Structure 1
């Protein structure tokens, strides 16, 4: 991205090819924003192990190896935004049923049918409609900023969890909460999950950014959006980017 303040750094001793490199490439949003090597097996270089442990305590409530493992499992195996996941899946299913993309009106109708069938009250319906509207607003901005192609949509927000999960795996090593073998096993599980939900790095990145924005940004298009957008453009243009040199599906 022209004028980017960010740089793509790599660890010469880290992986550049293969499943582990793919796993670390799923976590580049955080690593690049932290000015850390994207393929470093041991976490980030922006802080000491003691500082990282303090950060995980403050931001995640992680204070022990057991806490770390539970959080890594939750990120890789769970979904931090179930309503958004449900709405995006509903849109895809509705689109597949008619053989073409659905517009906002048809998505609203599909939400109404699901709510009626599930016996949900008007308050739940309105919250889902509001969330769908927020998603559409972000997708419109994503298209304007080159994050999505014209007519493109976000298929899932699971990348938000998986990118953080792959990094949580490395932070476990940095904090001394796990060994390298276990860390890499968790990271590659995140990579395997990514292959279930996405087909390209472009799709994965859009899912990550939408998930992050729904969690933090709340429609403000603040740094919670602009920083990962900057990372996205860097990764899509830098000649040494793993997203350009590693196939998403090998």
Structure 2
């Protein structure tokens, strides 16, 4: 039987659906829909009651994330990199966004046109003594981000004149996904999982204000990292995922408030 174009939200009975634990797990919901897993449990929807294990295709995906043979330490290192944003911060796309934020922090403007952005990238590259290929990569990422924001606005997800300031939602969603996958790999334990999930919730609360902001950041990152230009298959898949999470009454993004900084501090 073929899978639907937009996967249904799978919620496991008896697993967290509310409170801080539910909020933390909901950060990984985009990756859960992407990989056809429960958003709130490491069990697989097509193997309820069976020993928690991992599909062959998911193991291959995690090998790509980890970039080395999978063992407990390599899995933990990858989860920590995503939790702390080390993965996304090393990309040309996040560097491009950071440069724009630096420029806007020193001005009264709320947006930067693409020509001024490219000029700022060139200046930053010179100041940081980047190689030509690094400047070129960040310049291309800036143009791509400009196109992504235009498409987000055309699609009604990003208000006109607003911008995507970080792709960090992608890493936080990835960190939560890796926690769930860690149980399927046999590496995770409840105490360690709780520690990572608490930190992911705190980080999300410090960066984003609501699920809409988080979803836009995730969608933009997916397109920047894995797509060409909107609207390709990557865009359509990620956009469908974000829309269903924002709109479906059964979605944790609808039933749960976004993590708040006050809750994170407590």
Q: Normalising by structure 2, what TM-score?
A: 0.82
How far the C-alpha of 1:220 sits from its partner, in A, is: 6.0
Other-structure match for 1:49: 53
Other-structure match for 1:138: 148
Other-structure match for 2:263: none
Q: Cα deviations across residues 152-197 of structure 1 (Å, max 9, x unaligned)?
A: 2111011111101101011111221121221232122222222232
1:59 aligns with 2:67: no
Contact 1:84 1:131 in 2 (8 A): yes
How far the C-alpha of 1:134 sits from its partner, in A, is: 0.9
1:71 aligns with 2:78: yes
Unaligned runs of 5+ in 1: none
How far the C-alpha of 1:135 sits from its partner, in A, is: 0.9
Evaluate the alpha carbon distance shift between residue 173 and residue 119 of structure 1 in structure 2; reply closer, same or farther with a 3 A threshold.
closer
Unaligned runs of 5+ in 2: 261-266
Written as runs of structure 1 = structure 2, the 5 A alignment for 1:233-244 is: 233-244=243-254
Contact 1:138 1:210 in 2 (8 A): yes
Written as runs of structure 1 = structure 2, the 5 A alignment for 1:1-250 is: 5-40=6-41, 42-45=42-45, 49-51=53-55, 54-55=59-60, 58-60=63-65, 61-77=68-84, 78-80=86-88, 81-101=90-110, 102-120=112-130, 122-219=132-229, 221-250=231-260
Report SS of the residue matched to 2:250.
coil
Partner Cα separation in structure 2 for residue 120 and residue 35 of structure 1 = 40
How far the C-alpha of 1:58 sits from its partner, in A, is: 4.4
Partner Cα separation in structure 2 for residue 57 and residue 70 of structure 1 = 12
RMSD: 2.5
Contact 2:95 2:138 in 1 (8 A): no
Report SS of the residue matched to 2:161.
coil
How far the C-alpha of 1:230 sits from its partner, in A, is: 0.6
Report SS of the residue matched to 2:224.
helix
Partner Cα separation in structure 2 for residue 115 and residue 57 of structure 1 = 33
